[in-house]
């Protein structure tokens, strides 16, 4: 209904035209607006109103209370995750209409759109207004005004590039009228199509340096403030205008009977104002109308900043208002994370290992045992009654012989791949699954070299200082797919592990390394004999760090992630969880036993872990 009300002026004009011609000469044809003219009249109600640009200051937003506004932050997901206004929703210029609709807001809900400097937000603001939202504001100067560490978007952009401004009026040379761009269709449909097309193209800005580099005379330049300031005689300190620019009075120049007929369709148009927060909307409007229009970045503040006495960015324009960290996950990411983190953060279930002694003493016949080793190694010797399987066929193989609540044991060479499989079975709804501690290497001494040959002490200079203070928040992976779909993908990809030697060879600094045990052991002050951690590693506390509201936000999506624990059997499950969520994650083979085995007083592989339980052959 509000959308139609916004077109009331247009419909009234058309009605007058029809009525007038009906009362005149019968031979006269009815005068109708073209689709372009109808589009102009429909949008001019906003464009030439006092609500354009509709800026709210950081001070007002903070004083009013951010909870009283629906705030949409157009910055990148990474930047948003690193700090945003509390309660703000991450959005984009392209998706702003869908993002606002998804928030379930009424057309008159108070909305604030924020970006880096306030300029892209203008593009989004006019789109929302033209689509019927009536109470939209842009954050003045963008996030540069909300928090001092974000102020670089403005502080680094202001300057005095226009050293020889012009003070003569060029409007007298505007004598040529151009044909308007051509459109078809009804105005309501046309408006929606044009608005989304412009949003899809994104914010269109140009710097003054690029303007000069390309040749100022190759642009039709619109100075969008009053005549006195245009001529350099106003009170804002403006010394003049860009040579060749024309003066278009704000809120009085873009109508069919105003200056619109003089806009060329055969060359780019550049609009500039004080801070680019108005010109960004005017440029967007002209693009909706079919013109090739751009907003001059940072406006007068980039041209003659030092001369300005108002509309001027200064250090006082920024504040240090509260922020919150974290990203907005996709619906699929949130659903998968919520389902899987319940398990990964449950110490009674994860990692859920069972030692060889307990399996043998309890009776192998009391378990459904699945052996992930190759068919050749399985045939050469396996636990009596075990089923040979592989990660790719695991779910089907288990479903063929076991119920969801059956006692299941998964075995492999060392216990690490089995832990990967254990996580998958838990996610598939099996409730009584264990992985064989140390794998088949613990079942029979003939298989023990898989562990015995892998332990060592290559980490000769462990780090003992914490690194968590340097953690920064990141965007979550743009995950799509259900838990079941993601699980199939993870199993099809196979167990993902890396040795410490390969990490060193590739450069430790090229990995985000997660130390997955308690802080004392991470710092080398625990009771298990750990002398410290891999240099640069971050400490993620088991059972308290892998939820959406915990430390997931600090894991990057643009580099591989390596998780290590004591033996690699817990980290294998955490790795499977992270891969389920879309991270490029790996488990470090053999964990601390592959770093500083000789120092360990707990969780250490040794001869006591070896047994000589029977193997059967095929």
Q: Could you tell me if 351 and 281 lie in one domain?
A: no
CA distance 401 to 50: 73
217 lies in the same domain as 343: no
pLDDT at 11: 40
Judge if 265 and 372 occupy the same domain.
no
Closest CA to 160 of 237, 245, 55: 237
Q: List phi, psi (to 5°) of 522.
A: -60, -40
Q: Say yes or no: 439 and 577 in one domain.
A: yes
| 189 and 271 both lie in a single domain | yes
Range of the domain at 14: 2-34
**Tell me, what CATH number does 596's domain have?**
3.40.250.10
The pLDDT value recorded for residue 18 is 34
Q: Is the pLDDT of residue 605 over 60?
A: yes
- What is the maximum alpha-carbon separation in the chain? 111
**pLDDT value of residue 426:** 98
Can you give the pLDDT at residue 4? 40
Torsion of the alpha carbons at 403, 482, 424 and 564, rounded to the nearest 10: -160
Q: What is the mean pLDDT of residues 547-575?
A: 96
221-236 pLDDT, tens digit per residue, is 999 999 999 999 999 9
Confidence of residue 32 (pLDDT cuts 50, 70, 90): confident
Q: What is the pTM of this model?
A: 0.78
C-beta of residue 468 within 8 angstroms of C-beta of residue 549: no
Mean pLDDT of 185-193: 95
Distance of CA 538 to the CA centre of its chain: 22
**CA distances, 559 to each of 145, 496, 536, 548, 570 (Å):** 32, 15, 14, 20, 22
Residues 393 and 295 in one domain: no
Burial 50-88 (b: 16+ CB within 10 A, else e): ebbbbbbebeebeeeebeebbbbbbbebebbbbbbbeeb
Q: What is the pLDDT of residue 31?
A: 65
Could you give the percent of the chain with pLDDT greater than 90? 93
Check: CB of residue 261 under 8 Å from CB of residue 172. Answer: no
Per-residue model confidence as pLDDT tens digits over 140-168? 999 999 999 999 999 999 999 999 999 99
pLDDT value, residue 212: 97
Average pLDDT over residues 493-507: 97
pLDDT in tens, 373-417: 999 999 999 999 999 999 999 999 999 999 999 999 999 999 999
Bond prior to 53 in cis (omega within 30° of 0): yes
Asked about 52 being catalytic, the answer comes back as no
Q: Is pLDDT above 70 for 129?
A: yes
Q: How many CA atoms, within 13 angstroms, populate the side-chain half-sphere of residue 131?
A: 20
Q: Which residues pair with 411 in a beta bridge?
A: 371
Q: What does the mean pLDDT of the chain come to?
A: 94
Among 23, 52, 115, 412, the active-site one is 115
CA atoms within 13 A on the CB side of 194: 28
Which residue intervals of 137-186 are DSSP H helices? 152-155
Q: In the chain, how many domains are there?
A: 3
Alpha helices by DSSP H, 479-611: 483-493, 500-506, 519-522, 569-580
Domain annotation covers residue 569: yes
Domain end: 317, 343, 360, which one? 317
Indicate the SS3 state at residue 56.
Answer: strand
Q: How high is the pLDDT of residue 185? A: 93
């Amino acid at each position: 209904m509000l959308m139609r009300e916004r077109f009331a002026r247009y419909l009234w004009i058309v009605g007058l035209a029809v009525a007038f011609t009906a009362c005149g000469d019968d031979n006269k044809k009815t005068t109708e607006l073209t689709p372009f003219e109808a589009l102009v009249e429909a949008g001019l109600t906003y464009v030439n109103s006092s609500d354009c640009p509709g800026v709210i200051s950081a001070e007002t937003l903070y004083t009013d209370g951010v909870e009283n506004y629906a705030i949409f932050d157009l910055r990148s997901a990474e930047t948003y995750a690193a700090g945003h206004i509390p309660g703000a929703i991450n959005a984009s210029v392209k998706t702003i209409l869908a993002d606002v609709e998804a928030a379930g807001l009424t057309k008159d809900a108070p909305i604030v759109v924020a970006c880096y400097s306030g300029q892209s937000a203008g593009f989004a603001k006019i789109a929302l207004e033209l689509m019927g939202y009536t109470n939209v504001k842009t954050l003045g100067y963008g996030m540069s005004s909300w928090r001092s560490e974000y102020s670089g978007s403005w502080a680094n952009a202001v300057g005095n590039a226009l050293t020889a401004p012009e003070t003569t009026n060029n409007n007298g040379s505007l004598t040529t009228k151009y044909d308007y761009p051509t459109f078809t269709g009804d105005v309501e449909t046309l408006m929606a199509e044009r608005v989304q097309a412009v949003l899809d193209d994104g914010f269109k800005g140009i710097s003054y340096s690029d303007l000069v580099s390309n040749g100022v005379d190759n642009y039709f330049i619109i100075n969008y403030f009053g005549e006195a300031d245009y001529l350099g005689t106003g009170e804002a300190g403006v010394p003049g205008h860009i040579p060749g620019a024309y003066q278009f009075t704000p809120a009085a120049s873009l109508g069919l009977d105003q200056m619109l007929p003089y806009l060329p369709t055969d060359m780019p148009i550049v609009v500039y104002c004080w801070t680019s927060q108005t010109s960004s909307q005017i440029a967007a409007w002209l693009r909706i109308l079919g013109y090739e229009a751009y907003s001059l970045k940072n406006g007068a503040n980039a041209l003659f900043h030092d001369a300005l006495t108002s509309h001027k960015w200064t250090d006082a324009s920024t504040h240090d208002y509260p922020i919150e960290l974290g990203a907005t996950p996709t619906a699929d990411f949130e659903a998968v994370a919520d389902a899987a983190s319940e398990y990964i953060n449950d110490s009674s279930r994860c990692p859920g290992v069972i030692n060889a002694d307990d399996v043998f003493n309890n009776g192998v016949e009391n378990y459904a045992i699945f052996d992930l080793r190759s068919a050749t190694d399985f045939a050469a010797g396996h636990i009596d009654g075990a089923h040979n399987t592989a990660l790719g066929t695991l779910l089907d193989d288990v479903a063929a012989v076991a119920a969801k609540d059956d006692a299941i044991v998964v075995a492999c060479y060392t216990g690490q791949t089995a832990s990967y499989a254990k996580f998958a079975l838990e996610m598939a709804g099996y409730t009584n699954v264990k992985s064989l501690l140390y794998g088949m290497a613990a079942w029979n001494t003939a298989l023990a070299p898989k562990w015995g040959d892998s332990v060592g002490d290559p980490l000769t200079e462990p780090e003992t200082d914490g690194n968590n203070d340097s953690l920064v928040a990141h965007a979550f992976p743009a995950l799509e797919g259900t838990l079941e779909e993601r699980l199939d993908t993870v199993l099809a990809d196979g167990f993902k592990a890396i040795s410490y030697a390969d990490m060193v060879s590739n450069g430790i600094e090229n990995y985000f390394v997660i130390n997955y045990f308690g802080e004392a052991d991470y710092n080398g002050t625990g009771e298990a004999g750990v002398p410290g951690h891999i240099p640069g590693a971050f400490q993620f506390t088991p059972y308290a760090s892998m939820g959406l509201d915990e430390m997931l936000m600090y894991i990057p999506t643009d580099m591989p992630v390596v998780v290590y624990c004591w033996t690699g059997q817990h980290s294998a499950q955490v790795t499977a969880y992270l891969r389920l969520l879309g991270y490029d994650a790996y488990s470090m083979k053999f964990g601390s036993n592959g770093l500083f085995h000789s120092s360990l007083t707990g969780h250490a592989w040794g001869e006591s872990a070896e047994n000589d339980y029977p193997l059967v052959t095929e």
